[in-house]
Amino acid sequence: MPFINRIETIIKKSNEDIIVFHLNNQNLCTKEFKYSNKAISEEKILKNIVNNDYCIKIDSNDKIYGIANCENGEVVYLYTDDYGNILSKKLFEYDKKKYIINNPYIKKYEDTIHILYYIQSIDNKGIWSIFNHYYDGEKWTENNIDNITAYPVLNPFVVNEKDNNINIFYFNKINGSEEIFLSKFNPISKLWNAPIQITNTSNKKIYLSVLSDEMNLYNITWSEFINENLVVRYMNGQLKEDGFYSNNVLSLSEQSNCSFPTLIKIDKILWNIWTQMDRIYSSYSLDYGKTWSIPNEDDRGTENIIRYKFISNSENDVREYKLDTAFGTYYPSISFVGFQSVVKDSC
């Protein structure tokens, strides 16, 4: 089950139709699978995308929307018209000779819109700003959430949406090592709270995943360099008005090359899934992250594995699954891997 470092987006509508968004030679393309008649259609919807710089979402009315960063220095908005076509229009443009934009993100809440991205001046390499544009239904507000040091690798920030609140988790380098920070948007002031540092392990870190749950816990995982090896680390905590209260940091994997740890919750079972030696490993917790099972390799088949961003309006999915990203087999037979049935009294 070899792993390929590639990510695509799966959108599932309430009628169970599925649209897979992927890049082909910098063209943003779709594969649509109709649930009713099993018809499959493919379409190219946007060209000249920078790297993997796009974000696709679906609203409560099954309308697709998104944002993408294009080679010509335009950031475009994607939307569904009245006939179901996915169209695009320019949101804003920037001077690509002076600036680099990375990791665009978008989220709509009824009449409000949040847009976030990294931006860097070409003359100031290693320093990135996290920018936010917020539309409240009447006007746009621009915020600089934080300036971070990231070199040579820029890790994507993670946006966590909970009860119409929006929080951003990200790495910032402190004394030569990445630590995790958190900032929360205040919908009344329309500003972001001062960043909170939530780790202090003084080791280099990479790959971040965050998942909130019904216990008001923020589950956080990442890969950390220990003795020059990557180890999957995990912690959780609660965000309160006066700060972030965290529990102990745990190591879930052996010291190897453990990468892309990913949190998924199915019913009451919390999974942490990662790659190790190009194989998929996972561990699970039945007690909200206090204790974890011994890591197990997923040995189902020999198909190529990639990562998928997954967003669903299906009632069954919303009820049973909580995830942002998952590992899965590659087209044409798409299925998630890394977790299976668990006998709950086995731990």
Residue position matching structure tokens 């989220």 = 107
Predicted local confidence at residue 345, as pLDDT: 43
Pick from 237, 270, 232: nearest CA to 251:
232
Q: Binning pLDDT at 50, 70 and 90, where does residue 161 land?
A: confident
Residue 9 above 70 pLDDT? yes
Range from 55-59, 76-80, 281-285, 339-343 carrying the lowest mean pLDDT: 339-343
Six token digits for residue 187? 């919908």
Range from 234-243, 252-261, 311-320, 336-345 carrying the lowest mean pLDDT: 336-345
Q: Binning pLDDT at 50, 70 and 90, where does residue 96 land?
A: very high
Range from 48-57, 180-189, 229-238, 293-302 carrying the lowest mean pLDDT: 293-302
- For the entire predicted model, the pTM comes to 0.94
Predicted local confidence at residue 347, as pLDDT: 31
Predicted local confidence at residue 164, as pLDDT: 66
Residue-wise pLDDT for 195-214, tens only, equals 999 999 999 999 999 999 88
Six token digits for residue 106? 């978008």
Alpha-carbon distance of 31 to 48, in angstroms, equals 18
Residue-wise pLDDT for 244-280, tens only, equals 999 999 999 999 999 999 999 998 899 999 999 989 9
* 27 neighbors 70 (Cβ within 8 angstroms): no
Is the pLDDT higher at 117 or at 278? 117
Alpha-carbon distance of 25 to 135, in angstroms, equals 33
SS3 318: helix
Q: Binning pLDDT at 50, 70 and 90, where does residue 189 land?
A: confident
Six token digits for residue 216? 């008001």
Q: Chain-wide mean pLDDT for the chain?
A: 92
Report CA-CA distances (Å) from 67 to 59, 83, 161, 199, 312: 14, 20, 17, 31, 18
Omega before residue 152 within 30° of 0, cis: yes
